[in-house]
Amino acid sequence: MRSIFFNNIEKDQLEFVYNEATIKYLEENAGFERRVVTRDYAVNHTEEFKDVDYIFSTWGMPEMSEEEIKEIFPALKCVFYAAGSVQKFARPFLNCGVKVFSAWAANAVPVAEYTVAQIILAGKGFFSTSVLAKEGKREEAGALFRKYPCNYGETIGIIGAGMIGKLVINMLKAAYKFNVIVFDPFLPDEKAKELGVEKVSLKELFERSFIVSNHLANNAETQGMLKYEHFSSMRPYSTFINTGRGAQVVEDDLCQVLEERKDITALLDVTWPEPPVEGHKFYSLPNCILTPHIAGSAGMEVYRMSEFMVDEFNKFTKGEKTLYEVTHKILETMA
């Protein structure tokens, strides 16, 4: 058995996501080589990788053509990707009969935690009132706060009930008294009932929700889906949260609404492009809060992703049922 770490980021990427205990385990149980193999190296040393059974990777996983995969990795069985979305590289591997596993469930946890924290703070008017309070306008901040309904019994709109969306829903349902509504054409009615949510149209979700959180799958169909008509219909003092993908928002439309509706707040962890171009209105709009794509796994959280992939490796090699295999079907709705 032979395994390699395949990645285009040579410096520290292996140790960044795979801690020492995980690396040693793979060395002892997967024939793992403690080095980074880049795409350029593999392409120029094709004979060196004919017997590789398993690839482990994370952010920086190289994109390969089907021809390259067949030539360089003819014995490859699986790719274990210790990160989230595999949209950029998975299809050629799948077309070659190579199984692809993703730690999207592990990466979903901190995003869901981050989103729930923002929802709670947004419901209390934290983001808008803190600006006034810092300026010494305490009375104005207090008056603004009293216009917020806060969190008990409020309606939260979740756009996209994939892995992250479902986690957010479960966290909200477990710890808080919220009415959760969902827009997701792929969510079966029975699953919506199991989650305890109401399925609605995108239009109705924006009109009814006090806080809207985007978790849409990232594909051609969802790009530019969130427009002026949606943002302009939001309730007074409501909040839009985006930890999904920036390309799903028509950003000029969002800026126009934020200019017209000073009561609305946008919390954007993602934009398109990232970061916004110099001089973009997002930088100057007081009701737009930007963060530098921090919702996903970071710090100690990243180790959870490699541990998930080691668990999948163990299940696969023992002939047990795996949990996080990615198929062509899954890619249709995966973020």
Q: What is the pLDDT along the chain (335 residues), one digit of tens a residue?
A: 999 999 999 778 899 999 999 999 999 999 999 999 999 999 999 999 999 999 999 999 999 999 999 999 999 999 999 998 899 999 999 999 999 999 999 989 999 999 999 999 999 999 999 999 999 999 999 999 999 999 999 999 999 999 999 999 999 999 999 999 999 999 999 999 999 999 999 999 999 999 999 999 888 889 999 999 999 999 999 999 999 999 999 999 999 999 999 999 999 999 999 999 999 999 999 999 999 999 999 999 999 999 999 999 999 999 999 999 999 998 887 77
pLDDT for the residue 196: 97
Strands 198-199 and 265-268, by their bridges, are unpaired
The total number of structural domains in the chain stands at: 2
What is the dihedral angle through the alpha carbons of 192, 193, 195, 196, rounded to the nearest 10 degrees? 120
pLDDT for the residue 19: 95
Same domain, 127 and 257: yes
What secondary structure does DSSP assign to 20-86, as a single string? HHHHHHHHHHS-EEEEEEPHHHHHH-GGGGTT--EEEE-TTPPP--HHHHHHH-TT--EEEESSS--
Same domain, 48 and 130: no
Same domain, 122 and 77: no
Same domain, 143 and 269: yes
Beta carbons of 210 and 123 less than 8 angstroms apart: yes
Same domain, 45 and 151: no
pLDDT for the residue 219: 82
pLDDT for the residue 10: 77
Q: Give me the phi and psi of 256, to 5 degrees please.
A: -60, -45
Same domain, 243 and 323: no
Alpha-helix residue ranges (DSSP H) falling in the chain:
13-17, 20-29, 39-44, 66-72, 90-95, 104-123, 126-134, 138-145, 163-175, 189-195, 202-208, 228-231, 251-260, 302-317, 328-331
Q: Which domain holds residue 279?
A: 107-290
Same domain, 307 and 248: no
pTM across the whole model: 0.85
pLDDT for the residue 227: 98
Same domain, 60 and 76: yes
Residue-wise pLDDT for 119-176, tens only, equals: 999 999 999 999 999 999 999 999 999 999 999 999 999 999 999 999 999 999 999 9
Same domain, 250 and 316: no
Residue-wise pLDDT for 171-194, tens only, equals: 999 999 999 999 999 999 999 999
Same domain, 228 and 312: no
pLDDT for the residue 217: 84
CATH number, position 91: 3.40.50.720
pLDDT for the residue 127: 97
Q: Give me the phi and psi of 225, to 5 degrees please.
A: -75, -30
Same domain, 102 and 112: no
Same domain, 164 and 76: no
Helix 104-123 with 302-317: angle, nearest 10 deg: 140
